Amino acid sequence: MASPDPAASRPGSTKTGPGRVLIAIYALFALSASARAAVQIATKFGNAPVAYLLSALAAVIYILATVTLAVGSPTARRIAVLSCSVELAGVLAVGTWSLADPATFPDATVWSGYGSGYGFVPLVLPVLGLVWLRRWNARARSRGAKVTSAGDAGEAAGGGVAPGEGGRPGQGAEDDARRAGPAGPAPGQRVRGDVEE
């Protein structure tokens, strides 16, 4: 029984299915937050420096999340989890700060009021990102376990047959016996007692 092709069993990228929508929203926020922060810092930085710098920070995190979700490699997924976690902490911290001390935020940031200026999408987006990454990682682990167990089963059924090659049950034992050579005397040899002639 041949083991399944690892390439066929490998899980898809994080940019498939719901991941595409998530990446598109992150890209939109990365673009809008970057443009807004750039204009604010360039034209009226003195009015609300804290708010504008926090908008710039949000833009950097959105860009990082967009890129890492699109790449989808193991390292990129770890960075995406970190960026979504920092983003969620930032939305909660800045949202609370902006409500507790409105004087510090004469102009709103992306995260002011928990993202109320953007329909609370900045609050929901990192949660969706973390849930998607968690589900994707769990699915990737389960698929990897299935491939490994199928490969082990194929090797056990084929005996000494290499993974990915076919083999009937017991073939490995037959191959081992052939390699060991004949157990009895060679043809034409006579055996007298314990001494060979």
- What's the one-letter identity of residue 63? I
pLDDT at 17: 75
pLDDT at 188: 58
pLDDT at 93: 96
pLDDT at 169: 54
Residue pLDDT, tens place only, 108-136: 889 999 999 999 999 999 999 999 999 88
Task: Give the span between the Cα atoms of 68 and 11, in whole angstroms.
Answer: 17
- Give pLDDT < 70 ranges for the chain: 1-15, 143-197
Pair of tokens at residue 150: 């199928």
Question: Closest by alpha carbon to 125, among 66, 45, 56?
Answer: 66
pLDDT at 189: 57
- What's the one-letter identity of residue 27? A
pLDDT at 6: 42
Question: Closest by alpha carbon to 81, among 57, 64, 59, 58?
Answer: 64
- Contacts of 33-42 spanning 24+ positions with Cβ under 8 A: 33/58, 33/59, 33/62, 33/110, 34/59, 34/62, 34/63, 36/110, 40/107
Residue pLDDT, tens place only, 21-35: 999 999 999 999 999
